[in-house]
Structure formats: C-alpha cells, structure tokens
Amino acid sequence: MRMTVTRLILLLLIISPMSFAADEQAEQRAEYIRANYSKYEYQIPMRDGVKLFTSVYIPNDDTQAHPILMQRTPYRVAPYGASKYKTRLGPSAAFEQEGFIFVFQDVRGKSMSEGEFVNMRPQDAYKRGKKATDDATDTYDTIEWLVENLPHNNGRVGMWGTSYPGYYTSVGAINSHPALKAISPQAPIADWFFDDFHRNGAFVTPMAFIFFDSFDKPLDGPQAHREKGMDPITPDGYQFFRELGPLSNVNKNYFHGERPFWNELTEHPNYDAYWQARNVLQHLNKTKPATLVVGGWYDTEDLYGPLATYQTMSDQNQKSHVKMVMGPWFHGQWNSTKGGKSLGEADFGFDTSAWFQKEVLLPFFKQHLKETQAVEIATATMFETGSNRWRKFDVWPPAQATQSTLYLAADEALVDAQSDSGKSDYISDPNKPVPHSAQVSRGWDRPYMVEDQRYAARRPDVLVFETDALENDLTLAGAIDLDLWFSTTQTAADIVVKLVDVLPGKDENTDKVDAEKGNRHELVRWGVIRGRFRESMSKPVPFKPDTPTKVRFDLYDVLHTFKRGHKLQIQIQSSMFPFIDINPQNYVENIFEAEQSDFVKAFHTIYHNAQYPSAIHFRTLH
C-alpha cells in the first residue's frame, strides 16, 4: 500500500521531534565530556618492551581521587590526537557524571599499538616464565602503570567491554593485578569454536566472512586508520552465498589467502588442540575481582559466551562475587542510549537498557570502585520474555525449577507421555536451503531472533510439533535439552531446532482477532548441531545411512513464559541459510574443502515411537 503525502508528513512530524531530542541529548553529552575531562595519550611499556597505545580521560575535578574504568579493544580507541575527544566514555552518561577516569587501550598488534596481534591468543604466559606475555600480562602491566602514574586515581580499577573487549575483560581476571576490583565482561568471547563462528560445529558463514574481511587484514606496523574490507556486493545474502558455492571458494574468489585467521580456521574444522588452547574458560578459576557478566537473550553473535562465562566462574569461584544479567537484547543493546524496548517484531514494554544501566551496572561499579554503600544485586537478574518483567534469582538456573518432558508424536503433536506413533520424514536439498529469515538481508542481522516463523512452518522441509493450547502459563527457565532419534539417507546432516511461541488467533481477553499478532509464531530460541559432532567435537563420525541414531544437544538457556492460550512449538529442519553454511550431506573430512559434487539431496527422519522416542527436556517455574 502506498503512503500518501499527508500520511508521510504526519509521520515525519511524529518522528522528527524524537530524533532531534536524541541528537540534542548526544550533543549535550559530548559537550559535557569536553568541559569536564582532559584527554592524554600514552605509549605504555609492557614487560617485553612492546608499547601499547592508551587514551586516558581524567576528570578536571582534582579535589578528590577517582577510580579508573578501563576498556581494552582490538577495534581502535579513536579518535586519535589529544585534542580530539570521544563523544561517550562510559556505558551511560551517568558514569561520566560520576567522575571516573576512563582508559581505552589498543591491544597488542592492533591500530596504534606495537607488537603482533593474535586472535584469541592462548593465555599461557604464567606457564612460560616471568618475561612471557599474553593478554593477561598486558592487562596486569597496564594497570600497574596506570595506578603508579595517573594523577588523582584512588588505586581501584574496573574493566568492562562488549564482545571482543568483553573477552579482554574476562582475561583481566587471570592472575589479576591487586588493584583490579571489578569487571563486567559483556557478551564475552569464551571459546571461539562455540561462540561467534561455530554453533556446535556448524559454521556461521556470513558473520565470519564479513567480519574477517576487514578485521583479519594484517597491519604493516601501527596505524590510526581502520582497515577497509570489500565494498558490499549485494544486500541479498541468501543469493550471494548460494552463488558463492562451497566455502573453498572464499579464498579462490575473494580472500586469496590474505586473511591469516580465516586460513587457520579452515585448517582446523574440528575442536582440536588449536581451538582448545583458545578456550579462555579453562583459566577462569580462582579469580578475585567482583564480576558482573552481561548478555542478551537475542544476541545472535554470542549467546554462548556470557552463559558459559558465568557458569564457569560461578562453579569455580566464590559464588557471592560472580553475578549475571540477561536482558531481551541483541548484541550490545544494553549499552544503547535509546534501546531495549523492542527488537524487530517483539515489544518488551519499556526501556530495559536504561533500567539495567541505572539500577544494576552503575551501582555495581560504584560499590566496588568508589566503595559506596553496598547494593543488593541479585546473583542472577534475568528478564522473563513472554511476561516482559525482570526477575531475580539466588542461583541460575533457578533451584526451584522442576524438570519436565514433552515427547514428539504423530500429527505434529507435542505430548507429555511417550507415544508409539512412528516417524516423520522431510527432505533437505542443498539447492533450496531453509532461509534463516523471511527478510532479505546480508545474512548477519538481528531481528530474525524474534521473527514470526510461519514462513518456515509452511515449508515441506520443516517439521512442526506443537502442544495444544495451554490451559495455564508455562515458564521455562534454563537450557532445553534435546533427545532426538534421527536418520538420513546420506552420511552427514545438520539438525536445526527452534523453540517457538504460538500466539492465539484471538485475544483471549476480548475474544477479538488480533490483526497484528494473531497466530504469530514468535521465535524464542534456536540451536543447531552438525551431526558429525554428535559424539565428540574433536573426533567427528559419519552417519550410517538409514540407521536410527540418537542425537543429543541443547538449546541455550531461556527464561520465557508461554501464556495461557498459547502453544509451545518445536520446528526441526536441516538448514538455516545463509546464517549457517550448507552441509554437503555427503561426509567429507574437512567441510571447508568440500567440492560442489559433494553436495547432495537427502531425506531425513525423526522417530517418535516406543523404540526410538524423541523428546525435549526443560525446567519449569511455578
């Protein structure tokens, strides 16, 4: 439907004041920083003599000592030059008004820092001797220099960062400097075989391709400018990656061997010693700084990282100083100045990001860096989607949650008792993979994480199982464990499972049809396993054709309420393209070396009978 000129003008009148207000707020924030902070730039020497470029913003108020809040990043600490200021320093404007000393550092080998950059550098310096270096020792040496040299600091340091900077924040806790009192790893990389670029062995093609195109370009010495990648080829990622063909074509047609980490990634398709050395979780025992792990339920880049980091640190440390927050956010949305109320087609009712910044993040750092009065921050502060409310728990998953099971059955049913109802078959064609979204996108996007799944449910290559309409609210809390009996006519396959909230066609309170959300199939969580890794991530094995095989894996944690009148639905498919690369379905040792001839059509089967009962297990809150 075309928009009339009158309607367009009215829309602009509605939107423009909001835009102007946001721009004015951002401008006022930048002016406040200029007026109240002085910027300095340093080259801080590490124990091996390498110097790391560091920008420091010190409050002009010299009547009191200030704590240091630091971020280490591989993404540039621009703008460079002592007279050029950032327009935001802290996670929110309130941090700047509190008077922290803000420190930003280019990590070793990136931008203006000397040395060699290594992606997810193994953190083993403590095993190699006093002069050995890694990201943990660089953090220690930096803090030592800052505390000794910055004027008016109170000797207490905090760290925070999102994504890769979140990883550097976690690393800071390894054999940490005594002055490091508090850290907030936010969507931190934890183990890169399971974080951003692999999902239980399935490869996230567009994210890796787009990210490493520019990030993986080697630097010829320190430089202030950002490395530029290829110009965008098309906004249609589905079409682009279909035409790309096998992943071996990436180097043949685009990278030409000039992306070192991409090369290493493709040479190590399994969870071998190379990846195991890059697992930072193994080093996060006996950490001392107070820790607030932050993540988003709808973070398509990295949901594994915060959940695994929290669980590891909670299990291996004093539980009282390790806390977690999970909100209804995409990657980094919790740092937004005007976000957190909605994502794509989902609305959460209020600005959840602003609430988190004010009620949790700022009090956490003030307590540990300024030694203000202790605040009551729950061990787990979790947003309950479906009901759109914050909930607080003493432990995660909640101790009071009880185990429940639903079984797959005939006629697309999910039932609470095991049935003897046969099997369900579906086709998987590499030439017609199931799209990860109904929208045309480059393949690395955000709104699909809550997208209406009716477009997929109506395809013949997607199985659907669902409950009857619920008579009472059903709240899931924790991971969803899958026990699926599966077979294929070929030797390899991916299995993708979606947890979907099916809304009723009519509003249950008014008995009226909801024109916008009626019968909406909202995605709550999805996960995938590359079938070859069903027994071991290090030693893959093929499927034996036409042989029922148990495949177990779990979907990442949820806290979601399926409201009365809704249905809980499970969708099963074997592709999610282009977000996940296409499985050839013919077993090859290294999928990055597969040829076009290796890609074959297959017929897959999910069994749901007495001998081979497929089920989902989850915890519920009452």
Tell me the CATH number at 610.
2.60.120.260
pTM for the model stands at 0.94
Range in 8-12, 118-122, 353-357, 457-461 the model is least confident about: 8-12
Residue range 123-134, pLDDT digits in tens: 999 888 888 999
Residue 215 lies in a domain: no
Note down the domain range covering 580: 402-621
Q: What is the dihedral of CA 264, 270, 275, 281, to 10 degrees?
A: 150
* Predicted pLDDT of residue 9: 36
Q: What is the mean pLDDT of the chain?
A: 92
Q: Are 360 and 407 contained in the same domain?
A: no
Residue 16 lies in a domain: yes
Flag whether pLDDT at 263 surpasses 60.
yes
Helix 260-267 to helix 205-215 angle (10° resolution) is 140
Q: Are 55 and 166 contained in the same domain?
A: yes
Nearest of 103, 112, 167, 108 to residue 133 by alpha carbon:
108
How many other C-beta atoms lie within 10 A of the C-beta of residue 23?
Answer: 10
* Predicted pLDDT of residue 513: 61
Q: Return phi, psi of residue 558, to 5°.
A: -135, 160
Residue 197 lies in a domain: no
Q: Using DSSP bridges, classify how beta strands 494-502 and 567-573 pair: parallel, antiparallel or unpaired.
A: antiparallel
Which residues neighbour 23 within 8 Å (Cβ) at sequence distance 6 or greater?
none
> How many whole angstroms separate alpha carbon 381 and alpha carbon 293?
10
Q: Are 177 and 57 contained in the same domain?
A: yes
* Predicted pLDDT of residue 196: 85
**Band of residue 231 on the pLDDT scale cut at 50, 70, 90:** confident
Q: Which residue has the tokens 């929290």?
A: 310
* Predicted pLDDT of residue 412: 93
Flag whether pLDDT at 566 surpasses 70.
yes
Q: Are 429 and 312 contained in the same domain?
A: no
What tokens were used for 606?
Answer: 């999910």
> How many whole angstroms separate alpha carbon 173 and alpha carbon 286?
9
Q: How many angstroms from the chain centroid is the CA of residue 589?
A: 28
Residue 369 lies in a domain: yes
The β-bridge partners of 499 are 525, 570
**Band of residue 14 on the pLDDT scale cut at 50, 70, 90:** very low
292 against 320, higher pLDDT: 292
**Band of residue 576 on the pLDDT scale cut at 50, 70, 90:** very high
Residue where one domain finishes, among candidates 346, 375, 393: 393
Per the structure, the count of domains in the chain is 2
Q: Are 25 and 157 contained in the same domain?
A: yes
> How many whole angstroms separate alpha carbon 446 and alpha carbon 461?
24
Q: Are 384 and 406 contained in the same domain?
A: no
How many other C-beta atoms lie within 10 A of the C-beta of residue 47?
Answer: 15
382-420 core/surface letters (b: 16 or more CB in 10 A; e: else): bbbbbeeebbebeebbbeebeeeebbbbeeebbbeebee
Residue 387 lies in a domain: yes
> How many whole angstroms separate alpha carbon 583 and alpha carbon 198?
13
* Apex 40 CA angle, 39 and 41, nearest 5: 130
Q: Are 301 and 414 contained in the same domain?
A: no
Nearest of 441, 527, 455 to residue 484 by alpha carbon:
527
Q: Are 425 and 517 contained in the same domain?
A: yes
Flag whether pLDDT at 585 surpasses 90.
yes
Residue 301 lies in a domain: yes
Q: Using DSSP bridges, classify how beta strands 202-203 and 342-343 pair: parallel, antiparallel or unpaired.
A: unpaired
Query: What length does the chain have?
Result: 622
Q: Which residue has the tokens 């800052």?
A: 146
**Band of residue 538 on the pLDDT scale cut at 50, 70, 90:** very high
Q: Are 388 and 418 contained in the same domain?
A: no
Residue where one domain finishes, among candidates 343, 370, 393: 393
Q: Are 316 and 412 contained in the same domain?
A: no
**Band of residue 508 on the pLDDT scale cut at 50, 70, 90:** low
Residue 187 lies in a domain: yes
Q: Are 363 and 490 contained in the same domain?
A: no
Q: Are 514 and 559 contained in the same domain?
A: yes
Written as one string, the DSSP assignment of 413-440 is EEESS-----EEEEEE-TTSPPBS-SS-
Percent pLDDT > 70 in the chain is 95
Residue 234 lies in a domain: no
Residue where one domain finishes, among candidates 365, 393, 421: 393
> How many whole angstroms separate alpha carbon 140 and alpha carbon 258?
33
Tell me the CATH number at 62.
3.40.50.1820
70 against 319, higher pLDDT: 70
Q: Using DSSP bridges, classify how beta strands 380-384 and 567-573 pair: parallel, antiparallel or unpaired.
A: unpaired
Residue range 313-350, pLDDT digits in tens: 998 777 788 999 999 999 999 998 777 899 999 999 99
Q: How many angstroms from the chain centroid is the CA of residue 88?
A: 23
